[in-house]
Amino acid sequence: MTAITEINEKRIQAEDYVQAVFETVKKRNPNESEFHQVVKEVFDSLVPVFEKNPVYMEQSILERIAEPERVITFRVPWVDDQGKVQVNRGFRVQFNSAIGPYKGGLRFHPSVNASIIKFLGFEQIFKNALTGLPIGGGKGGADFDPKGKSDGEIMRFTQSFMLELSRHIGPDVDVPAGDIGVGAREIGYLFGQYKRIRGCYEAGVLTGKGIGYGGSLTRTEATGYGTVYFVQEMLKEIGLSLKGSTVVVSGSGNVSTYAIEKAAQLGAKVVACSDSDGYIYDPNGISLDTVKKLKEVERERIRDYVKEHPHAEYFEGCSGIWSIPCDIALPCATQNEIDEAAAEILVANGVKAIGEGANMPCTSGAINEFLRNTVLFGPAKAANAGGVAVSALEMAQNSSRISWTFEEVDEKLQQIMTNIYRSSVKAAEDYGYPGNLVAGANIAGFIKVADAMIAQGVI
Ligand code: NDP
Ligand code: 2IT
């Protein structure tokens, strides 16, 4: 056999392995399109890794990594303000604990189902590995819609949710945090209920806590800031910076708010943001004070922004936001919010960089469009890892019963984002995908987890 034929054979063997395992995943998890989407993206990147290191195939690492260690679903009954009993479905997927306790957020949104939680949990395994910190992957939530609910309803729902979840979590077992629909208020109620059930103060069981009871400074800002730090690293590589650039950010929740704040601090003009009803365009640059007041304090709709800023415009519907010309686009709302058509418009308008603040906000067609046109692309598991990284720093502070200053945590966050960028670039180069951070991040995260799994035997 010639050397060339041998290389081709190894490649074909790796491709066949990836395809066969992907078919099994689809069959075993029918009708879970978001889960299939994220598994396919990760698996496809890994072909050259298996070609070089057949031990991962021999050890059936893909078969094992795509099967959660544990999936928990449970009934969440609660009483609404009218005295009526309501029932929601709660989830926790404990996906992989090879490098640390399960770690990942909780999402409260009516669209939550097994596919959504599994896609988020699978993504979290590799994201958490990329941070370089000892955290495994997990995710949870409920199909509960917080919109229009009173504070009392939110508390009763959240307490009922924790009554069941508390059996399955702990500071060395599984450490949830926030995600869509779960912010400081919900984490407070969750923590209070857990403490009451256990009868002891285990600060490290949840992250994103208030500063007065075990939270870490910079955690609120970490995902948004981290996404912008990541974009800054990508821009630096080609001699650009955020200064003077025009930025569009989708969403107006936790990630978006602090992405807007950091981009503006670094000299960018952020001209648009959105919520699930529509988007605002403010050519003067968004007033973040107004956005914070509307969304963080009053829990109102983004359309009300134009009442205070009549020169700005409001547009109904979310997808039109990507037709606003910009240098940098930061999708920070939800999955699959940029499809191929939106990506084509962004490219035609001269976009230079994309930073995925949300999880899987770009469809695979959109990602290909960006990569084809050499738009800098920061994939979610790398670009938005700052949130979970600071969560791990919160756990470290809780274990040692000390707290660091805002500046200390922010400095560590910047260093972590730079490290994630560098390790993704290097893995991409090492495995034949120069400049492709999607593949680089998948590979760097995968190798760390796979090696730990092999070291720990068949479990
Ligand atoms: P929030 O609930 O604070 O904000 C979500 C924002 O996105 C809101 O403006 C919301 O609008 C909008 N939105 C939510 N769902 C949809 C939808 N289906 N269509 C259009 N808009 C929608 O959540 P976060 O900011 O915490 O999370 C945003 C994204 O970032 C998610 O993908 C999450 O998984 C990801 N992420 C979050 C991290 C964190 O630390 N919080 C860490 C890493 C990633 P409305 O106000 O109308 O509901
Ligand atoms: O998607 C994510 O990384 C998060 N929602 C944050 C998870 C965490 O544990 O801080």
CATH number at residue 241: 3.40.50.720
**Active-site residue, selected from the candidate residues 127, 139, 195, 295:** 139
Residues 239 and 377 in one domain: yes
Q: Provide the pLDDT for residue 194.
A: 98
**Domain membership flag for residue 322:** yes
Same-domain status, 309 and 364: yes
In a domain, 343, yes or no: yes
The number of the ligand 2 atom at minimal distance from the alpha carbon of 384 is: 3
Same domain, 246 and 379: yes
Name which residue sits closest to atom 30 of ligand 1, judged by CA.
358
Single-letter amino acid, residue 183? G
- 306 within domain boundaries: yes
Residue bearing the CA closest to ligand 1, atom 28: 333
For 138, the domain range is 70-201
Tell whether 423 is covered by a domain: no
Whether residues 162 and 282 share a domain: the answer is no
In a domain, 213, yes or no: no
Q: Which residues line ligand 2 (CB under 6 A)?
A: 103-105, 127, 177, 179, 207, 359, 387-388, 391
Q: Answer yes or no: do 303 and 368 share one domain.
A: yes
Q: Give a yes or no: residue 325 inside a domain.
A: yes
| CATH assignment of the domain containing 129 | 3.40.50.10860
pLDDT per residue as tens, the chain (459 positions)? 577 788 799 999 999 999 999 999 999 999 999 999 999 999 999 999 999 999 999 999 999 999 999 999 999 999 999 999 999 999 999 999 999 999 999 999 999 999 999 999 999 999 999 999 999 999 999 999 999 999 999 999 999 999 999 999 999 999 999 999 999 999 999 999 999 999 999 999 999 999 999 999 999 999 999 999 999 999 999 999 999 999 999 999 999 999 999 999 999 999 999 999 999 999 999 999 999 999 999 999 999 999 999 999 999 999 999 999 999 999 999 999 999 999 999 999 999 999 999 999 999 999 999 999 999 999 999 999 999 999 999 999 999 999 999 999 999 999 999 999 999 999 999 999 999 999 999 999 999 999 999 999 998
User: How many domains does one find in the chain?
Assistant: 3
Residues with CB under 6 A from ligand 1: 178-181, 183, 223, 251-256, 275-277, 318, 332-334, 357-359, 384, 387
Spatial CB neighbours of 146, under 8 Å, sequence gap ≥ 6: 108, 109, 154, 181, 186
Ligand 1 centroid–CA 300 distance in Å is: 15
Dist CA 106 CA 87 (whole Å): 18
> What residue type is 404 in one-letter code?
W
R_g of the chain, CA atoms, integer Å: 22
Catalytic residue flag (residue 52): no
Point out the domain boundary residue: 66, 89, 117. Answer: 66
Whether 126 contacts 449, CB under 8 Å: yes
Q: Is residue 143 within 8 Å of residue 89, measured between CB atoms?
A: yes
Is residue 401 a part of any domain in this protein? no
**What integer pLDDT is reported at residue 5 of this predicted model?**
83
* Per-position DSSP letters for 17-56, written without gaps between them: HHHHHHHHHHHHSTT-HHHHHHHHHHHHHTHHHHHH-THH
Tokens matching residue 427: 């893995």
- Residue 7: predicted pLDDT: 78
DSSP string, 249-295: E---SHHHHHHHHHHHHTT-EEEEEE-SSEEEE-TT---HHHHHIII
237 and 379 share a domain? yes
Q: Are residues 82 and 124 in the same domain?
A: yes
Cα(105) to centroid of ligand 2, in Å?
4
226 and 369 housed in the same domain: yes
| Residues 353, 234 contacting (CB under 8 angstroms) | yes
